[in-house]
Amino acid sequence: MISQSRQHTLLEAIGEDPSRKVHIPQGPSYLTNPPGTTFWQAVGSWMFTLDHKRIGVMYLCGVMFAFLLGGIYAGLVRVELWNGTPGFLGESLQQAQNNYNQAFTLHGAIMTFLFIIPSIPAALGNIFLPMMLGAKDVAFPRMNLASFYLWCTGAVFFVATLLTSGLDTGWTFYTPYSTTTSTSVILATLGVFILGFSSIFTGLNFVVTVNTMRPKGMTWFKMPLFLWGIYSTAIIQVLATPVLAITLVLLVCERTLGIGIFDPAKGGDPVLFQHFFWFYSHPAVYIMILPGMAVISEVIPVYSRKHIFGYTFIAYSSVAIALLGFLVWGHHMFTSTESALAAVIFSALTFTVSIPSAIKVFNWLTTMYKGAIHFNAAMCYALAFMFLFTIGGLTGLFLGALSVDIHLHDTYFVVAHFHYVMMGGTLIAFLAGLHHWWPKMFGVMYNEFWARIACLLVFVGFNLTFFPQFILGTQGMPRRYAAYKEEFQFLHQLSTTGYFVLGTGLFLAAAVLIISLFKGKKAPDNPWGAATLEWKCCSPPTHHNFEVQPWTGSPYVYDDFVYDPDAEGYVEVLPDLQRDAKPAEAPAAPATT
């Protein structure tokens, strides 16, 4: 923590001699075009841009649109479940059940493949990964743009699915139902196939960028933890996604050519599909959560004004999660004819994967301990993340325990578990990152007060929606049913009410951010006093981010940043003064590893 007196000394120092402030060169924003650009030239300059920040912004718009669409389908599910009897989605039980199957499938598939997987890496990662490396762009800018257009193509397939006969298999496409239903399975699987390539392109790009473009002085263990998280994610993206792609091709072959690989009548096995699917999809849940953890590892130290605790443990735990995540897929098949020995082994391995997750949570907590915590909106989201992710992770252990899962499998308990990790975890971390980096991305400040109110509504609404589902699950309410017994009604109604509170919170958060684009005060270069390199270029950055290679200090030492009332933000004190203040400090070592 930085002492008050040190802040005074630094402030006085730059007051006497303003040239001691580190000067950040200002330039034209990456969001704008040179004067005289026509409308169509401007459109073209975005569509064919190779600037990682513009691609990130386009991804951001895309994933937000997908989130809205997925959110509408969630609403259909929740409103149907207000009553135990069919009504909203169809008069008869049969009709309601058919429409309900479509609603939850499209909700799940859109949220998973179009929103959560690309959200943090492709939107925030694209914008900030190169900047955190002090670089001008990613290693392969053209591939980056291609990945965005693949995402768009995948999205078009999904929209085509919606416009044709929809999809009712669940986001997991389990056989034998997916090989027999008359809905648009082929369109949707092709969409997921294409989205998979988009994800692989992003991952590959990030692996190469981190390996080859770290600046002088930034060794692996001086990298911001965001980069460790995104790097581990990228490895899973590159290794696991091809398995999904092949599985989906097999599914399409099964439907069109009847090859029989998943059909017992022809010597195949439907459970084989589950193994293939979860061999990708369990690692994929870490594609979803690791970037969330990566954001939180940046946000917590900045707003606690303290060096991150246990840097190496957090860094290695990301890698451990990425590797262990490949070994536990069998916990999704405890109840589908898995051998008892396999089940016991998968259960035990599932427990090991929670260790690195817990390591992170303890380190974040210890970072906050005795810190000077600033409850900015981004920090409020980070705290919400810690609370919700912990509940999500711990309930994963209930499910990982073999005997307990026999009862809880396919109940609302599972639904609650994965929403606590995916929504309470990844989405909330995404919001934390969005608020943390918004001033840098768009060069404007939003209204802190209303942003915090939105965060509170999201938190309350989220718990109201999903906590009752844990109880429903333990009482035996199965998932994927449009109707239920009267005894479940009260808890379902709490949950549906929560959906509307949550929705209000999310709309408010979006409104606060969007209004800031038009009415927000101009953002200073470093509003929060963060030490990572993206804050060493102007807000918003120029096309090439940095005029000169920025000086690479520790990403988590805040001592040399002082709040300057003139700039309404933090300024870094010149390195030569730093050397005066800390004569013993060695110069940064060149990157060797």
Contact assessment for residue 237 and residue 231, using Cβ atoms and an 8 Å cutoff: no
Burial 231-255 (b: 16+ CB within 10 A, else e): bbbbbbbbbbbebbbebbebbbebb
167, 101 in Cβ contact below 8 A? no
Query: What does 393 interact with, of Cu ion, ligand HEM, none (CB < 5 to 8 A by kind)?
Result: ligand HEM
- Minimum separation from the CB atom of position 138 to ligand HEM (A): 25
With b for 16 or more beta-carbon neighbours within 10 A and e for fewer, the 558-591 pattern comes to bbbbbbbeeeebbbbbbeebbeeeeeeeeebeee
* Helix extents (H) in 306-376: 311-324, 340-368
CB neighbours (10 Å) of residue 362?
A: 13
Residues near 207 by Cβ (< 8 Å), separated by ≥ 6?
231, 234, 235, 238
Q: How far is the CB of 520 from ligand HEM (least distance, A)?
A: 32
Q: Where on the chain is the footprint of ligand HEM (CB under 6 A)?
A: 172, 285, 288-289, 331-332, 350, 353-354, 357, 393, 396-397, 399-400, 405, 408-409, 414, 417-418, 421-422, 425-426
Q: Which does 271 bind (CB under 5 to 8 A by kind): ligand HEM, Cu ion, none?
A: none
Q: Toward ligand HEM, which CB reaches closer, 107 or 417? A: 417
Q: To the nearest whole angstrom, how small is the minimum distance from the Cβ of residue 292 to ligand HEM?
A: 8
Q: What is the CA radius of gyration of the chain?
A: 25
Residue with tokens 């049913």: 481
Q: How far apart are the first and last CA of the chain?
A: 30
Dist CA 290 CA 298 (whole Å): 13
CA-wise closest residue to 491 among 100, 29, 78, 44? 78
Residue nearest to ligand HEM (CB): 396
SS3 (DSSP) at 205: helix
Q: What are the E-state strand segments in 88-190?
A: none
Q: Which is nearer to Cu ion, 282 or 492 (CB)?
A: 282
Q: Which is nearer to Cu ion, 76 or 399 (CB)?
A: 399
Q: Which helix (H) or strand (E) holds 562?
A: strand 561-564
**CA 158 to CA 84: how far, in whole Å?**
30
Cβ distance to Cu ion smaller for residue 358 or 581: 358
DSSP 8-state code for residue 479: S
| Least Cβ distance, residue 410 to ligand HEM (angstroms) | 6
Nearer to Cu ion, 282 or 435 (CB): 282
Whole-angstrom Cα distance, residue 468 to residue 466? 6
Which two structure tokens, joined as six digits, stand for 274? 């589950």
Which residues of this chain interact with Cu ion, rule CB under 5 A? 282
- Report the candidate in 161, 145, 162 with the shortest Cα–Cα distance to residue 59: 145
Helix (H, G, I), strand (E, B) or coil at 542: strand
